[in-house]
Structure 1
Amino acid sequence: MTSIKTLLQKFKARRELEYAFNVGGIYISKKNSGGKEIKRMPKIHEVTLFDDRTRYTFTLPNGYDPKEIDKKEYVFKQVFCRSLELKGDLKKYVLTVYKHKMTNEIKYNFCSIKGEIHEYKMPIYCGADRLGKNIIYDMSTKPHLLIAGETGSGKSTQLRQLLTTLILNFDPTELELYLGDCKKAEFHVFRNVKHVKASVTRAHEIKAMLEYIQDEMNQRYDLIETFGVAHIDDLPKEHKKPYMVVCIDEFVMLRKEKEIMAALIDLTALGRAAGIFVVLSMQRPVKEVLDTTIRSNLTVSMGFKVRDKIESRIINTPGAEDIQTPGRFYMNNNGKVDELQAPFLSLDECKKLLEPYLVAPDEAKEVSEGILQIDQQDELLGGWED
């Protein structure tokens, strides 16, 4: 039986939401025959109290533009606090107000997530939600990822920990990494790691790298067809293939390279069954680069702080333009958007974690100017092997 105390708490919570509707002008106003204003407020269907949050369910009155709710989300933040989530569509909305703010920093600790990520074939460690729960998803079922965020937002650190986590979790025989660093600033720390088969910076090098991966993908599909299976994981043991992850930072710089863009569309459309996954990152989301085809193939997106609503819409992470905390981001996972805090992994700590996985100096792969000769494919592929 509901206690008097709970009823009073619900009543107070309901009045706070009604106040938000009123001060925010979230209602339809009409005048009756006597000239008195009549306000049709959203209907509050349910107020649910939890130890750490309060959840409201309400519907808009017919005739109220749902776009106005997005514009007036700031009202709810002013009335309640900044720590809230508002989700809905045409008419029905759910507002969740949290009692505690999210932590502003999470230190990367592989040991703390090691047990959890082993449950996934291809684990992507995202960070923690507002309750401190680790959020991990399986890239084998949601194969391609887009990360966007301006300088200082935490995008680069997220890329660093994501790749480090994969390296720590997989043997080099199980995972191959192919890195394209258009800014020549992000992936140097991974250059001589055993898992890394290519770490390149120039457009013609990236083009050659993607051509090689496309050829590998075609060979894998030939095996899939030969053995009548649906995925390379189902191939006989003697034909097992390692997973391949292609990660290109600031790929917007390649927007004029039609062959590269076509190759990325090819890989994101067909790579999953072949065990090939794509991670793309950029500072400024550009609609002309992220066309409908590529966006539809990138099943998960992480939006760190971006410049405006236009950019946040391009990457399907509404609210990313309002982020104030470094490392904070919104993740769109097949339409479900969550606010998360990315783990922080410093460059020095990353180097320490990678030390056991570095190749010997005489085995180190060269990635300097001139190593990749597009017209010498045999030599090119040989240069990628450990």
Structure 2
Amino acid sequence: MLPLFLGAIYHLFATGTEIEFSKSIISVLYKSGEEMTSGGVLSGLLAMGLKSAVSIYGAAPVFTVGLVFFGMSCVGLTLPKMIESYRNRPQYDQMPEAAQDSRQISAPNIQSSVKTPVLTGKKNVKAIDIPLDEASLKNDDYVEEKVGFFNTKPRVKTPDQVLSQDAEKPLVSSPKTIKHSAPTENVKPLSVEEAAAVAGVSQLTSEGAGATAAIKKISREEVEAETEEITKTIEKTMEESPEVYRYPSISLLSSAGPRNNIDGREEISLNRERLESTIRSFGVSGVITGITRGPTVTRYDLELEQGVKLAKLTNLAGDLALSLGVTSVRIAPIPDKISTVGIEVPNKLISMVYLHDIIDAASFKTAQSKLSFAIGEDIGGNAIVGNIAKLPHLLIAGTTGSGKSVCMNSLIISLLYKSTPDEVRLIMIDPKMVELGVYNGIPHLFVPVVTDPKKAAGALQWAVVEMLKRYRLFSESGVRDLMGYNAHQKTIREQTLPRVVIVIDELADLMLVASKEVEESICRVAQMGRAAGMHLVIATQRPSADVITGLMKANIPSRIAFAVSSAMESRIILDNSGAEKLIGAGDMLYSPLGVGKPMRVQGAFVTDEEREKIINFVKEGAQVVYSEDILAQIEKAAEDKNSSSSENDKRDASDSGSDYDELLPQAVDVIFETKQASVSMLQRRLKLGYARAARIVDQMEEIGVVGPFEGSKPRQVLITRQQWQEMQSSQGGTLKGPAADQVSFSEYADTPTDDWKD
């Protein structure tokens, strides 16, 4: 409205009566407004209308008042505000003129003025702004006496002099004008002790001055020592004070920027026509009701008619892939849809999913758990975020190049973005020594990355001990899990316990070296680790039955399957087939705890450069303190493993000289007692199986104790008990061959022949 009224005022005083009402008035006003000779269309019409109604003398005040009103409204001013501001304006006090210096009033005059109720005579005394209690009592007899600048005697008398004069003078003074002497007359100077007592300061003697000088001299000599002590104290305080963890910036991760708008409509329409024709040719009744294009695959929703079996369609997966010209097609039911099956066809143009987009998503930012980690995007383009606390253990399997290592890095980096070292601690085991070694030095690590398989078994054993220790603390505090224990510790202002995530990059290498210890520790932690805040993340390239045992599968419910080589390996991981049809490069099947069917997800991608930037940022912002207790326990477990393995090697070396059964001496004694040698008799007497009893009989034949096989007849005993005992004593308990084959070197003793000549 402000420009409208301003234009109307301009139109009134600029154009006058040159423009009149006509059919072309709007065009005339528009052109003249462009030329700045009128107020324009709206302002001109408003000004001309009001002018014709109340004349220019009535229109001009109206527009002026409106202009002022709307101008005040623009700046937030109103009449009540202006009135209130005027009322509340600050009152400035006038500066008093130069008055006579009242400092020179002597003590007797002040005393007489205070005690005299009425004084005669008037003087022109300047008024002051500050009201005083003694304003009505004016001293008209005071005459200022000028004193030299360098005055050695004080004007103000000491308290003892004032009191002595009060005792000599009467309480009421006469109204007559008394000429007083100068205030500096008859005033004795104060001594040093009296002046010090009046001023309230301590007297400084010559001895004290000397001591002060000595102290100053000593302090100068000890300045450096005191400075060093203060520096050490500050450094110690900084070390003891907890450092604040700096979360990495999202800018360290590269973003995909605006998504590439890949036009796949032609590809989708062509595949739809081929699918419908192929399904119809094989006699399957169904209609494609929806199409969803994801980063790597496109899902065609096929609604089956009543009476069509799902197995009939799944058996056509190979034929459908052949008709579409792709490597594989996955067919799986769609959750929450009735009689609808999803046919997942790989895209020819794949869109990359970056870790930046998942961490920057709202689902990751709003996740309350400190163990949240980024997984990737599903077919619908939704960000998938996992929670290790709810899994509570995760098994990752896939062949080389399928994206398993990238998934592990995404998980670890997500924990760095989500949690502090006081909330989550990590133990990393990397037998390959190339994947997780770059994380050495981050504050979340309990110990450096473990690369020795024997030490890895010790780290897992420490996890079992720590888990049992935490359960004992829970029992003493009367809580059920780690969350309740930490809440109890916060109420009493004690230290809380962090969650522990154990990351194993290659399980197969550990199972080759120490399978029994590793499997036992993993199963114990998997069974009881959830409430204690201990979680396992295990990855392997070879998902065979000897690596992922049945006991492990039973205790690790959540799985991530990347591309595998066969359906059998897919069943080992997921208990279902389908992972063998994945296309690799981050394509996975995610099966968390509580989900019936696996979810197809395109994993988030993070480069090695991004990972190094984040790790360097975290290293710079915090100081790493490894646990010496855990390192000592791991070293001790590794030493015990080495000692036990060396003893086993020695035992194996001692036993390598004898390949005979340990029950062979007992079997020979039984033969001497029964005077016959047969397999069935050894089975009955020694309670052996047929294979082992027959092998013992063959060994007795080899060393010459019994004769050869004679059909149904028992074998003959060739030696006596005494010969058997001699054989055992001569060979030191180690049987090396038949007694008849033992050769004596005495037969080859050097004896001179008859034809020998010197």
TM-score, L = length of structure 1: 0.77
Structure 1 counterpart of 2:355, which letter?
Y
Q: Distance in 2 between matches of 1:304 and 1:189?
A: 24
Shift of 1:69: 4.6
Structure 2 counterpart of 1:374, which letter?
K
Q: Paired residue for 2:583?
A: 324
Q: CA RMSD in A?
A: 3.7
Q: Paired residue for 1:300?
A: 558
Shift of 1:55: 2.0
Q: Distance in 2 between matches of 1:97 and 1:184?
A: 37
SS at match of 1:233: helix
Shift of 1:355: 1.6
2:477 aligned with 1:231, yes or no? no
Q: Paired residue for 1:214?
A: 464
Q: Paired residue for 1:38?
A: none
Shift of 1:283: 0.8
Shift of 1:341: 1.3
2:455–2:638 CA contact under 8 A, matched in 1: no
Using a 3 Å threshold, how does the CA distance of structure 1 residues 272 and 163 change in structure 2: closer, same or farther? same
Q: Distance in 2 between matches of 1:305 and 1:184?
A: 23
The equivalent position to 2:319 in structure 1, one of 59, 69, 75, is 75
Q: Paired residue for 2:367?
A: 119
1:16–1:79 CA contact under 8 A, matched in 2: yes
1:59–1:93 CA contact under 8 A, matched in 2: no
Structure scoring higher RCO (CA < 8 A, sep ≥ 6) equals 1
Q: Paired residue for 1:268?
A: 526
The equivalent position to 2:614 in structure 1, one of 353, 356, 373, is 353
2:330–2:581 CA contact under 8 A, matched in 1: no
Q: Which has the higher helix share?
A: 2
The equivalent position to 1:146 in structure 2, one of 383, 395, 400, is 395
Using a 3 Å threshold, how does the CA distance of structure 1 residues 127 and 287 change in structure 2: closer, same or farther? same
CA displacement 1:267-320 (0-9 Å, x = unmatched): 111111111110110111111221222112222211112111111111116332
2:545 aligned with 1:287, yes or no? yes
Q: Paired residue for 1:251?
A: 507
CA displacement 1:334-370 (0-9 Å, x = unmatched): 4321221111111121010122322799957699x99
Using a 3 Å threshold, how does the CA distance of structure 1 residues 132 and 168 change in structure 2: closer, same or farther? same
Indicate the structure (1 or 2) with the bigger Cα radius of gyration: 2
Using a 3 Å threshold, how does the CA distance of structure 1 residues 116 and 373 change in structure 2: closer, same or farther? closer
Q: Distance in 1 between matches of 2:271 and 2:583?
A: 27
The equivalent position to 1:168 in structure 2, one of 410, 417, 423, is 417
Using a 3 Å threshold, how does the CA distance of structure 1 residues 78 and 282 change in structure 2: closer, same or farther? same
1:147–1:281 CA contact under 8 A, matched in 2: yes
SS at match of 2:635: coil
2:346–2:583 CA contact under 8 A, matched in 1: no
Q: Paired residue for 1:56?
A: 302
Q: Paired residue for 1:108?
A: 355
Structure 1 counterpart of 2:320, which letter?
F
- Residues paired across the two proteins, number: 345
2:572 aligned with 1:314, yes or no? yes
Q: Paired residue for 2:386?
A: 137
1:120–1:138 CA contact under 8 A, matched in 2: no
Using a 3 Å threshold, how does the CA distance of structure 1 residues 102 and 93 change in structure 2: closer, same or farther? farther
Q: Paired residue for 1:197?
A: 446
Structure 1 counterpart of 2:376, which letter?
G
Using a 3 Å threshold, how does the CA distance of structure 1 residues 281 and 176 change in structure 2: closer, same or farther? same
Structure 2 counterpart of 1:345, which letter?
V
1:106–1:343 CA contact under 8 A, matched in 2: yes
1:176–1:245 CA contact under 8 A, matched in 2: yes
Q: Distance in 2 between matches of 1:13 and 1:376?
A: 58
Structure 2 counterpart of 1:112, which letter?
D
Q: Distance in 1 between matches of 2:627 and 2:421?
A: 18
2:330–2:578 CA contact under 8 A, matched in 1: no
SS at match of 2:636: coil
| Larger deviation, residues 317-326 vs 47-56 | 47-56
SS at match of 1:124: strand
SS at match of 1:374: helix
Q: Paired residue for 2:635?
A: 373
SS at match of 1:270: helix
Q: Distance in 2 between matches of 1:136 and 1:180?
A: 24
CA displacement 1:133-163 (0-9 Å, x = unmatched): 1111222111111111222211111111111
Q: Paired residue for 1:33?
A: none
2:600 aligned with 1:339, yes or no? yes
Shift of 1:240: 2.8
Structure 2 counterpart of 1:255, which letter?
M
1:178–1:244 CA contact under 8 A, matched in 2: yes
Q: Distance in 1 between matches of 2:622 and 2:473?
A: 35
> Identity rate of aligned residues, in percent?
24
1:245–1:277 CA contact under 8 A, matched in 2: yes
2:398–2:562 CA contact under 8 A, matched in 1: yes
1:158–1:342 CA contact under 8 A, matched in 2: yes
Using a 3 Å threshold, how does the CA distance of structure 1 residues 376 and 297 change in structure 2: closer, same or farther? closer
Q: Paired residue for 2:676?
A: none
> 1:12-31, aligned counterparts within 5 Å?
19-23=277-281, 25=282
Shift of 1:16: 6.4
Using a 3 Å threshold, how does the CA distance of structure 1 residues 163 and 140 change in structure 2: closer, same or farther? same
Q: Distance in 2 between matches of 1:96 and 1:120?
A: 35
Using a 3 Å threshold, how does the CA distance of structure 1 residues 308 and 360 change in structure 2: closer, same or farther? same
Using a 3 Å threshold, how does the CA distance of structure 1 residues 47 and 348 change in structure 2: closer, same or farther? closer
SS at match of 1:212: helix
Q: Paired residue for 2:225?
A: none
Q: Distance in 1 between matches of 2:347 and 2:500?
A: 40
SS at match of 1:125: strand
Q: Which has the higher strand share?
A: 1
Q: Distance in 2 between matches of 1:357 and 1:106?
A: 24
Q: Distance in 2 between matches of 1:370 and 1:271?
A: 22
Using a 3 Å threshold, how does the CA distance of structure 1 residues 134 and 309 change in structure 2: closer, same or farther? same
Which segments of structure 1 move beyond 6 Å, counting only runs of 4 or more? 12-16, 98-102, 359-362
Shift of 1:71: 4.5
1:84–1:95 CA contact under 8 A, matched in 2: no
Q: Which runs of 5+ in 2 are unaligned?
A: 1-269, 294-298, 640-758
Shift of 1:14: 10
Q: Distance in 2 between matches of 1:363 and 1:171?
A: 13
